[in-house]
Structure 1
Amino acid sequence: MSKTATALQTQYSEAPVSNAHSSAPMKIVVVGHVDHGKSTLVGRILSETGALPEGKVEYLKEVCEKRGMPFEWAFVMDALQAERDQGITIDTAQIRFATPFRPYVIIDAPGHKEFLKNMITGAASAEAAVLVIDADEGVQEQSRRHGYLLHLLGLRQIAVAVNKMDLVNFGQARFEEVKAEITVYLNSIGVQPTHVIPVAARSGVNISGPAAETPWYKGPSVLAALDGFEAAKPATDLALRFPVQDVYKFDQRRIIAGRIESGRLKVGDTLVFAPTGKSARIASIETWGVNATVAVSAGAGQSIGVTLDEQIFIERGQVASLAERAPSVSHTLRARLFWLGRNGLKVGSRYKLKLATAEYAVEVIAIERVIDVEDLANHPGAEVGRNAVAEVVFRSRTPIAHDSFLDNPRLGRFVVVEDYDIVGGGVIAEAGGVHQAHKSTNITEVEHKVDFDTRALANGHRGGVVWLTGLSGAGKSTIAMEVERQLFLKGWQIMVLDGDNVRHGLCSDLGFSPEDRAENIRRVGEVAHLFAQAGMLVITAFISPYRSDRERVRTIHPDVFHEVHVATDLAECERRDPKGLYRKARAGEIAEFTGVTAPYEAPLSPEFTLDTSGKSIDECVADLLRYMEANFSLSAREQTQSWGF
């Protein structure tokens, strides 16, 4: 070791680091081709910074002497007995050390191809990386692929340590040759190495300071390069991301609960909920537990509940943010994925993607690149095998609220689930590679010059949505069509939206999965409320089996929404079976059939219950007509009012 390095070792060992340890440690991953000296480099760093327990090196030297093998600094990290026997690192190890500047967690990741999975696991949590290359052997194919894996995982701060310079007599020409080769490659994949450093890890050259052996090198030492890396922003400095865990109802309050993943919020802030785009102001912030309090603000890492100043429909999986820094919303995601499934991932395969508290049904629409762990080959592929890394594109029928991993890791990581098992995990690529559907800030709602009340005066009745829900065969469509006919004859502006009819056009692209049912109801709800805004009375006849879907429609315009439960029991509906659907469902010919193989959630407090038990169609129609006329007709006084133009 040079005198300069020895002096710097004393500095790193004796310098007070209490201030550094008050901050979060930076995570550094060390990668490279097998036998290029990764573990040796890490062991030497620990020695140079005084991070090793007293007597550790002497103990390892004694063990090596007993085994008749030369001492290697790599043994400091190769803690597993199997690793000492085989001479290779097979697992990631995390050890803490500190410079006077800040604390670190250094991750020594395996480079042998059989243990690539562990390397990826280690690198996934790192903020920066050191890529080790043997000066004598030069850039190997595995070196390039490890560099590419760092790129896949979103790391952009990468220092290259050209190790074993002693084997090339510390020749500047050889160093420049290796430096040029690795720089050209990293640049080709969009990575600019922060530093390329000539190193002899075994003897400590350029680990903690300039070395006499390389007078021609004017750049930083390894430790100085680490100190030059930028730490990740604290989670509180990132954009607000508050994924909704659940919504609880207490008395008249609806408390939206969840954990703040990043950013801060306070009472009075206007929250925008993605992907719906609905917004409301925070009325209160409440905490949980024995010492629960009402707070005025909260930040990343806190689990809280908030109440809003108006009742909008919020459900699990939505993400609250501030309007000026909202997440991206898109039906497609370009992702970097590590695949764990026993069955290969293929184009057209469907999975469940979990992102924060949300779950999305997704389909693989493209596999753009695959790295196979068996040969580390980088190639286009039609299938991603187990333990392979790939760049893929997912498509979801419902929009996904997300960030790129680089912008905000808290909303940039996901897992893939198949049959309740996690089969993959990954990160969302840069925003430029995603077909995004941001909510435009250039859209302004246009105010009508004919208001709701004026339309009611012109029509002689109020507009509204009468939402008939009930089992198949309950009589919804039959009753709705007759009510439409009779009110039309009275001069009312009325229209029926029927479930079967809508699926021939507006919703012809949807199936009958829970996700598709939800989207079907969402679309119909928006259309129905547009009709109501135009002054028409809209009757909808949909099974609409889920309460949450009907509640979502109600929140579009609660004042004009009337939920009517056409209450016919399952036995009677199955006895009628006007379309033969129950018979087919019982025979297994129809999957996901409500009441048989899929649930129906009856309304808890509908505006009107139309009990069809023992009644004829005419009697049911008369009951619904009485209800509608009572709630949507104008009084005599109202009808004499002048129009408000």
Structure 2
Amino acid sequence: MNASTSTTGTTGTTGMSGATIDTLRFATAGSVDDGKSTLVGRLLHDSKSILTDQLEAVAHASRNRGQDTPDLALLTDGLRAEREQGITIDVAYRYFATPKRRFILADTPGHVQYTRNMVTGASTAELAIVLIDARNGVVEQTRRHAAVAALLRVPHVVLAVNKMDLVGYEEKDFQRIVEDFAGHAAELGLPGFTPIPVSALVGDNVVERSARMDWYRGPSLLDFLENVPVGTQKVDAPARFPVQYVIRHGELRSYAGQLVSGSLRVGDRVTVHPSGASSEITGIDLLGTESEVAFAPQSIAVRLADQRDISRGDMLTTGVEVPALTQEVRAAVCHLADRPLRVGDRVLVRHTTRTVKAIVKDLGGASELRANDLGRIGLRTAEPLALDDYAVSRRTGAFIVIDPADGATLTAGMVEL
């Protein structure tokens, strides 16, 4: 997760009818051999989101393997050979659309050693699909994926119980798995999830509702993806504007960046963090046009009534709901790097557009964090940071820890105030 540049929420495009088509970013997660590649392939195939030549290539490869029908897993398993060779696999992003919505799918590897890849993929997702093999039920990696979804505060979770055809489409097997997962979800503080019984191999409840599970009254997977509410940004949320660039026009200055939360209006009183100075907004530039108001996640330039000492990394806020200004940072983390993190390490912390020096004070009782470890961290920063709790804001509540020697990302953190 790159906390300094990632964005959450939706982007809108205008269709031929003039209506705005929104975008859902979602991530998939599943244990090895749970059928994730087949599920994604089935979703792309049945929603008519693949080209004819792609389907012909899959059909040809399947016939060469002695299969009578196209193996849809081949649509997404192009990296299987590299994975078997032990080469690090990054998140694969796939783009498709239906008449109702556009989708950005972060397809993450299933192995436990790729937990960090799931964190990367799910950090900007508004929905996560956790896949389970109906024959095996909830396994250790299922619990780990649920923990990541809870840690990252993914707004919506789908529990896709796959391979229902191999358990005779029995409702009791589905309900047993749902009840088991619900227990773990409650322990993790996962706010809720939507269970859907599917068979990716034959297409049951993936795009079309299945007649073989008439006991299930809910939506198909695609129907749920097309209709789940999207857009986590709230207009009435506290305004948070990290300054990315200072633009000078002679004696005048404007401050450019992305408004990551809330809204700003001409005439608003703003506070500059960490200095505590205040001023009034006299102008907002939106894509080269003057505007009276801006909303997250728009990129804007702001002019103030007073010439303040403001630089990259400062944050402008409005109202009384101010961020916590602190040098003591406590957070839940996922360690991303192969190099372990230890107490006493001197690091850099990048929060929004601000980068400060810091020292690792504690690791929640652990002696070190290794790649893919989930844990907790205490940091002491050389300069104060304006932080929100991650549960309140996935942008201003996130940060990354960087190796000062080579600039490599070490750890992704979620602030706990």
After TM superposition, the score normalised by the length of structure 1 is: 0.56
- The residue that corresponds to 1:35 in the other structure is 33
- The residue that corresponds to 1:395 in the other structure is 380
SS at 1:410 equivalent: coil
Which segment is superposed worse, 356-365 or 44-53? 356-365
Check conservation: 1:238, 1:408, Cα contact below 8 A.
Answer: no
CA distance in 1, matches of 2:156, 2:143: 16
- The residue that corresponds to 2:330 in the other structure is 334
Check conservation: 1:261, 1:301, Cα contact below 8 A.
Answer: yes
Alpha-carbon displacement from aligned partner over 1:488-508 (angstroms, at most 9, x marks no partner): xxxxxxxxxxxxxxxxxxxxx
C-alpha distance 258-248 of structure 1, shift in aligned 2 (>3 A): closer
- The residue that corresponds to 2:358 in the other structure is 362
SS at 1:120 equivalent: helix
- The residue that corresponds to 2:150 in the other structure is 151
Structure with higher helix content: 1
Shift of 1:197: 1.4
- The residue that corresponds to 2:100 in the other structure is 101
Check conservation: 2:279, 2:304, Cα contact below 8 A.
Answer: no
CA distance in 2, matches of 1:175, 1:287: 50
Partner AA of 1:54 in structure 2: T
Check conservation: 1:156, 1:191, Cα contact below 8 A.
Answer: no
Check conservation: 2:38, 2:73, Cα contact below 8 A.
Answer: yes
CA distance in 2, matches of 1:81, 1:326: 48
Alpha-carbon displacement from aligned partner over 1:504-534 (angstroms, at most 9, x marks no partner): xxxxxxxxxxxxxxxxxxxxxxxxxxxxxxx
- The residue that corresponds to 1:414 in the other structure is 399
CA distance in 2, matches of 1:409, 1:284: 28
- The residue that corresponds to 2:314 in the other structure is 318
Shift of 1:122: 1.7
C-alpha distance 173-318 of structure 1, shift in aligned 2 (>3 A): same
Alpha-carbon displacement from aligned partner over 1:44-68 (angstroms, at most 9, x marks no partner): 1112211111243333121121244
Shift of 1:150: 1.8
Partner AA of 2:38 in structure 1: T
- The residue that corresponds to 1:426 in the other structure is 412
After TM superposition, the score normalised by the length of structure 2 is: 0.84
Shift of 1:311: 4.5
C-alpha distance 173-19 of structure 1, shift in aligned 2 (>3 A): farther
Shift of 1:157: 1.2
1:57 to 36, 55, 58: 55
CA distance in 2, matches of 1:215, 1:305: 57
Alpha-carbon displacement from aligned partner over 1:258-298 (angstroms, at most 9, x marks no partner): 3133344333221111233321112344689xxx6765555
C-alpha distance 228-24 of structure 1, shift in aligned 2 (>3 A): closer
C-alpha distance 18-367 of structure 1, shift in aligned 2 (>3 A): farther
Between the two proteins, the alignment pairs up a number of residues equal to 399
1:302 to 292, 299, 302: 299
CA distance in 2, matches of 1:276, 1:235: 27
C-alpha distance 111-342 of structure 1, shift in aligned 2 (>3 A): closer
Partner AA of 1:183 in structure 2: A
CA distance in 2, matches of 1:20, 1:163: 38
CA distance in 1, matches of 2:249, 2:98: 52
1:200 aligns with 2:185: no
Q: Unaligned 5+ residue runs, structure 2?
A: 1-14
1:9-408 maps to which residues of 2 (within 5 A)? Answer: 22-68=20-66, 71-80=70-79, 82=81, 90-234=89-233, 238-245=237-244, 253=251, 255-262=253-260, 263-285=262-284, 296-299=292-295, 300-308=297-305, 310-341=306-337, 343-368=339-364, 381-408=366-393
CA distance in 1, matches of 2:309, 2:217: 61
1:437-448 maps to which residues of 2 (within 5 A)? Answer: none
Alpha-carbon displacement from aligned partner over 1:551-581 (angstroms, at most 9, x marks no partner): xxxxxxxxxxxxxxxxxxxxxxxxxxxxxxx
Which segment is superposed worse, 30-39 or 416-425? 416-425
Shift of 1:136: 0.5
Shift of 1:237: 6.8
Shift of 1:81: 6.5
CA distance in 1, matches of 2:45, 2:314: 48
**Greater relative contact order (CA < 8 Å, ≥ 6 in sequence):** 2
1:427-576 maps to which residues of 2 (within 5 A)? Answer: 427-429=413-415, 433-434=416-417
Q: Unaligned 5+ residue runs, structure 1?
A: 1-16, 369-379, 435-645
Alpha-carbon displacement from aligned partner over 1:409-454 (angstroms, at most 9, x marks no partner): 332332222225133242423xxx31xxxxxxxxxxxxxxxxxxxx
Give the % identical residues: 31
